[in-house]
Every structure is written in C-alpha cells, then in structure tokens.
Structure 1
C-alpha cells in the first residue's frame, strides 16, 4: 500500500512517535511524506520515505495529485487545529480529494491508529480491487 504522512509543525513530534510505534507494520509498505515530516521520520526510524516538497511549498498538492491518479491508499495527516496555516486552501483541497476518491484519511492519532490496525489485519485489500478496476478502465 502507498501511505502518505503529513504533519503540521506542532504535530511533527507526535507523528514521529506514532510512526516509530508502528514501524513494523509500515516497513512492508511504500511510504511518502511532505518534506520535513519525512526527514524527521527517517531520522528516528529505519523506514525509507519518498519525500515531496514541504506542505506550504506544494507538498500537499503533490500528494493530492497522487490521490487523483489513484496512486495513494491512505493518508495520515496530523493537523494542528489551533494554528492558522498559510496554505489552508491546499489542505482543504487534499481533504476533499480523499473524500472524492474514497481514500482513508486520519487527521489525528486516534484515527490513525485505527487505520493502521486495519492495515495490519488486511482490511485495505479493497484498494487492490479499486486499482485493478481503474487500470482496466484506462486500458479500454
């Protein structure tokens, strides 16, 4: 599965702690993130992460493009709801794309834990079916 990680500045420590706790589950998946978040995760784990630009410089939009291409299976986005973000329209667009394309999205640690426990159990196999259907549509 392709999994993206994003965290606002005040949530970066939380996402590093979270990913460290689930490193064993995540190591068999393809991981993506916005710039600094990915750097912080890689500094604290043995995971390899494809890093996009930082969020304010277009990283959110780059992940959104992967969602629109049906090439992202899950997004874990630890948002800071108490701080205004200069790129709020990009954040809103990313969340909207997750809804449009039925991509599981966690915006806090509790929901992220539920998603990763489901991933661990194999509950995300439906994404393989969706990808196969989309690939079949492109080939016809």
Structure 2
C-alpha cells in the first residue's frame, strides 16, 4: 500500500508536533502493514531529523513543495499508468491557518482523493484510526493503543451529505445501521437528518423520536453549527460525503467545517468517501468481534 504524506510546518516544527505524535503511536502498525510513505521534501526531512521510522525502507522522499512535490502526489493519486506511481490515498496533516493549505495543489489533493474514492487523512486522529482500520483488514490483532478511538458509545458522529450524495448517504446508513446505532449521538444538517430519521423509523426506532439530531440545512448554517460541536470536542467523528463536481454557493460554510476538524487534529476523525467509510464500518465490526474473543 502506498500513501502520499505531507504535513504543514506547524505539525513538524516541534518534537511533540502532530506528525511525530502520529508516527510514534503508529510506527509498529506502519511496519506491520509494510506501508510505503511517499513524503514531500520538508516532511521527509523532518521525519529524518526526528529519528522516527529510522532505517525504514518504505519512507520515500519526494521533492519539496516549491519544487512540485505536492503536485506529484496529486498526479499519483489519480494514477500514472504504473503501479509504482499510483498512490492509494494521502495523509496530509493540515494546519488550517497555514496559507499553503489552500494552495491549488493542496485543494486538488483532497478533491482527487474524493473523486477516486481513496482515503484523504487530514488529522492525527484520522491517521491513527486509518492505520488501525487497515491493520484489522489485514487480519492483525487489535492494537490496545487505539482503544480510545473505538468507544463509540461515548462519541457523537456527524453525518453530512451534499445533494448529489444524499442517496449514497442513505444507502450507507442502511448498510451500516448497526454501526451508526452504537454511537451515543448522531447529528446531521437539515434534509440529510430528516431522511436518516425516516430510515431509522422504518427500522423500528420509536416514531417521532429523533435518531439523528437535526441542525439547519448547510446553506442556512448547519455546517457552522456542527463545526462548533467539533471545536467544543462534542463531536468526535464526521462522515462527510462531498460532491466534488458542483460549485456550491455555501462553499465557505463547508470549508469552515473542514477547518474545524483539522483545528482539533487529535480529537476528530473525518471520512470523505462512501468506499472509505464502508471499509471503516467493516473493520469496526471485525475489531469488536476480535475484542470480544480476546
């Protein structure tokens, strides 16, 4: 498996920065998965200075950003007609107030991951969660160090889908209703929330009792309301099915929610495509079964 890797300066300029917190927590899992990390220049240099992944053959250096390193990651997420030049996704630890996080190549990296249904991992919590998901899918035993991520009964999950993606969200919720029902609370913006409640009522949830707490529609500020929950550490996961092909009048609200997620990088997991979210739900069931047996 090959993943692009980049981190804004805030996340690698101190010994306890986000990049190193992730690597120290997941170094064993990275090795178990034989994960290839295709790191842009400054991120690669920071990892070498830190001593993390010392001697690891899967850490590959790409050019610095100013030399086109992030642009190369975008092209390889799309695929360059050779297995060694095709990435399975990208880990990009974002500082939401770093201007480079909104450069065209940074925005395109996420967009192409969403279009090609590949993981786009933008927070420490998401990176830890993704490694554990892939470990479980590889048949490895659960990592006790990831247990804090899986106490769903104490967590809130946001379920958000733009208009063109609402059918995919409803299909996802129907297929993985058992997983979503484990959460202490579910929240969503207007129409998505209503449709999810109707689905729950059809599954036997008490009529009139909300399975999902509804906020305003996205254009009316629902994304901002949920962003506030994220910033207050009252929403720990977000499944956000975006339509990357349509210009949206409330783009600023969408970006606000994304920025809130990356602001609390250690606390919030975000998934942006149905394929990735389905793989996570499947891994979650497998992990729970393994923990019961253990």
Q: TM-score, normalised by structure 1?
A: 0.81
Other structure's SS at 1:57 match:
coil
Render the CA deviation track for 1:106-130: whole Å, top value 9, x for unaligned.
11102222333454436xxxxxxxx
Deviation at 1:72, TM superposition (A): 0.5
After the TM superposition, list the runs of 4 or more consecutive aligned residues in structure 1 that deviate by more than 4 angstroms. Answer: none
Which residue number corresponds to residue 167 of structure 2? 13
Root-mean-square deviation over aligned CA pairs: 1.5
Separation in structure 2 between the aligned mates of residue 114 and residue 72 of structure 1, nearest angstrom: 21
| 1:109 aligns with one of 264, 274, 285 | 274
Q: How does 1:79-94 map to 2 (within 5 A)?
A: 79-94=242-257
Which residue number corresponds to residue 49 of structure 1? 212
Higher relative contact order (CA 8 A, sep 6+): 1
Which residue number corresponds to residue 231 of structure 2? 68
**Is structure 2 residue 198 aligned with structure 1 residue 25?**
no
Separation in structure 2 between the aligned mates of residue 26 and residue 111 of structure 1, nearest angstrom: 15
Going from structure 1 to structure 2, the CA distance change for 1:2 and 1:118 (only over 3 Å counts) comes to farther
Q: Which moved more, 1:105-114 or 1:80-89?
A: 105-114
Other structure's SS at 1:77 match:
strand
Other structure's SS at 1:3 match:
strand
Q: Which moved more, 1:99-108 or 1:68-77?
A: 99-108
Going from structure 1 to structure 2, the CA distance change for 1:66 and 1:119 (only over 3 Å counts) comes to farther
Which residue number corresponds to residue 193 of structure 2? 38
Q: Which moved more, 1:14-23 or 1:42-51?
A: 42-51
Q: TM-score, normalised by structure 2?
A: 0.40
Residues paired across the two proteins, number: 122
Going from structure 1 to structure 2, the CA distance change for 1:25 and 1:67 (only over 3 Å counts) comes to same
Runs (5+) with no aligned partner, structure 2: 1-154, 206-210, 289-294
Render the CA deviation track for 1:34-87: whole Å, top value 9, x for unaligned.
010011111123460000000010000000000010111100111000011111
